[in-house]
A and B are shown apart, each in its own frame.
Chain A
Amino acid sequence: MTTQDHAIAVVAADTQEPPPPRGQLRLFVDAFASNKLAVAGLVVFVLAILVALTADVISPYDPNAQDLAVRLMGPSAEHWLGTDQYGRDLLSRVIHGTQISLMVGIVSITIATLCGVTAGALSGYLGGFVDDIIMRCMDVLLAFPALILAIGILAVLGPSILNVVIVIAVVSTPQIARITRSAVLTQKEEEYVQAAIVIGLPMHVRLFKHVLLNCLAPITVQATLLVANAIIVETSLSFLGLGVRPPTPTWGTILFEGKDYILLGMWWMSVFPGIAIILAMLGLNLLGDGLRDALDPRIRGADA
């Protein structure tokens, strides 16, 4: 039979295929590793996390220690990134800022993803009445600009890091829910889901194993981009005095403390936290794109 001959020829060309469970992970890692931009994004992201975790060890100074003798100094051998208006070491402040900014971004989007995926999956898969109720609630949240909604909620809850996390989770949930719902809607009409019904697979297994597995790519990309967005929202809230209170350093507070001095030529107070934000955004976006490509077996196949 010709098909069998063909099949054997195909197999012979590539007989060293690893067994399925490990194979799946291997394929994913290989595909991700072959994408240089994605690896660069991952490196930036991992570095940022390392900096955040070891902030107390690697900071040359206490981030809140004031030394008025050296206030508003440019970059030098003692203070690599210069000092601010109270003579605090900018490098130490940016390093400690990484801790808070990343923590707020990651924790809030993790919460948002859990809530959003659950809501979106139920909404898309069950449809009808459940869909109407869940999505109308999400529409209400989406109707307000994220920042305005965040300001409103924080005005009620009061400013604190925990409340910032809650607020960002609340304003990000509808975005994840929408992405998940639309992905679920397209996937659930596919014949492989019907095939799962025909073999008698229970609904929750169908939803998680078959439908959500195929929605991973858009959700991952959206979540990664939302972490970047969460950092920006945190920055804005801190500037408005509704987020993290001074003197606790975050990239946002440092950046905005520096804004009064930028026209006086003291660029370092704004530029360095700005660079930190840009690097984090770039890293997260590259990482998101890389994950999307590596998670998709079709694109994965085309790359190899």
Chain B
Amino acid sequence: MEKLLEVAGLKKYFPIRKGSLFSRETKYVRAVDDVSFDIHKGEVLGLVGESGSGKTTTGRLLVRLLKATEGDIVFEGKDTQAMTDAQFRPLRRDMQFIFQDPYSSLNPRLTVAHAIAEPIRLHGVATGKEVEERVGDLMNTVGLNPRMASRYPHEFSGGQRQRIGIARALALNPKLIIADEPVSALDVSIQAQVLNLLHRLRDEFGLSYLFIAHDLNVVQHLCERIAVMYLGKLVEVADRESLYAEPLHPYTQALTSAIPVPNPRAKRDRVLLKGEIPSPVNPPSGCHFHPRCQFATEQCRQVVPTLKKVNATRSVACHLY
């Protein structure tokens, strides 16, 4: 399979300024710390992790909502990090973003038609009458009635708004869609609808997704490969079947054991994590996960594990393997 996106050694450090105007930047929040992954054409890669793990930052770095501190982002063989903003603009057609919060991702003063038509007009995908037609088609595609095009976002429910956001992302016929927790703000019943929609769109348009979520349950149905992130680093990357069947990294084990089982009598071996995710300003030495890991050894406290290939389809960053 052809690689659509290659990310290598991606880092994003946010400086924390302390004191007054003249004080020096001393500390950094290491939101994303040396992350590498690939997305193939037509593939859905899930990126999971708890709050503060840097998954949203990673997504934003890809579409240049944030500038990377270090690392390469190669899209279709083109190194985007070397590009200026003007050079990057044509690439935006191919890389779109679905936002987490359907309530703030639409301008409350612009109609739905305007929101969806904006990228179409800007990139000259269609002109004149065609724009309206295309907006209508897109609304149909995401399951909204085109007659509602002249309405304002506040007249829609959360699920409908998220569909509008998806229609806007589709407007430019992108190759890659980065979906930043697109269903986490929705009710469970609506979540399924939106997930099914994303699944259908992928087949219809041959899309690739980077699907960001904090919940393995949501990722399960859509993603072929799943990358687990913890404190700015990838701890495990695996295909869906093997990840759910046999999670290798202790953190992944904890996450999979947290997936609810719809059987009250099922015997479950819960791995419960203690404490909070540590601060990315002062990450623990060695393996970042060791303070919460039940298998931690002396080696874990001192040596940072690297992501090692375990077999053809999966790799893990843990000294146990």
Contact = CB atoms under 8 A, between A and B. Distances in A.
Interface of A: 1, 3-4, 7-8, 10-11, 15, 17-20, 23-24, 132, 190-192, 194-201, 210, 213-214, 297-298, 301
A20 B122 CA distance: 19
A15 B145 CA distance: 12
A199 B122 contact: yes
Contact of A10 (B64, B65, B92, B148): B148
B109 A214 contact: yes
Contacts of B148: 7, 10-11
B154 A213 contact: no
Contact of B118 (A23, A194, A201): A201
B154 A198 contact: no
Interface in B147-171: 147-152, 154-155, 159-160, 163, 165, 168, 171
Contacts of B163: 3
B82 to A, nearest CB: 18
Contacts of A194: 65, 97, 99, 105
Contact of B122 (A7, A190, A201): A201
Contacts of B149: 20
A48 to B, nearest CB: 30
Chain B interface helix/strand/loop/mixed: loop
B234 interface: no
B296 to A, nearest CB: 38
Nearest to A299: B154
Contacts of A301: 152, 154-155
A20 B152 CA distance: 10
Contacts of B109: 213-214, 297
Contact of B96 (A198, A210, A213, A214): A198
A20 B113 contact: yes
B63 interface: yes
By size class, the interface of chain B is: 35 or more
Nearest to B95: A198
A192 B119 contact: no
Contacts of A195: 97, 99, 105-106, 165, 168
Contact of B100 (A17, A191, A199, A214): A191
Contact of B99 (A1, A3, A132, A191): A191
A8 B140 CA distance: 12
B160 A3 contact: yes
B45 interface: no
Contacts of A1: 143, 193
Contacts of B101: 191
B107 A11 contact: no
Nearest to A192: B107
9 contacts: A1-B143, A1-B193, A3-B193, A4-B144, A23-B150, A191-B105, A199-B119, A199-B122, A200-B92
Contacts of A3: 143, 159-160, 163, 193
For A18, A192, A297, A298, the residue with the greatest tally of chain B CB atoms inside 10 Å of its CB is: A192
B27 interface: no
Contacts of A199: 92, 96, 118-119, 122-123, 168, 171-172
Nearest to A22: B150
A8 B144 CA distance: 9
Contacts of B106: 192, 195
Contact of B143 (A4, A132, A191, A198): A4
A23 to B, nearest CB: 6
A192 B113 contact: no
B263 interface: no
B160 A214 contact: no
B107 A213 contact: yes
B104 A20 contact: no
A146 to B, nearest CB: 28
B249 to A, nearest CB: 32
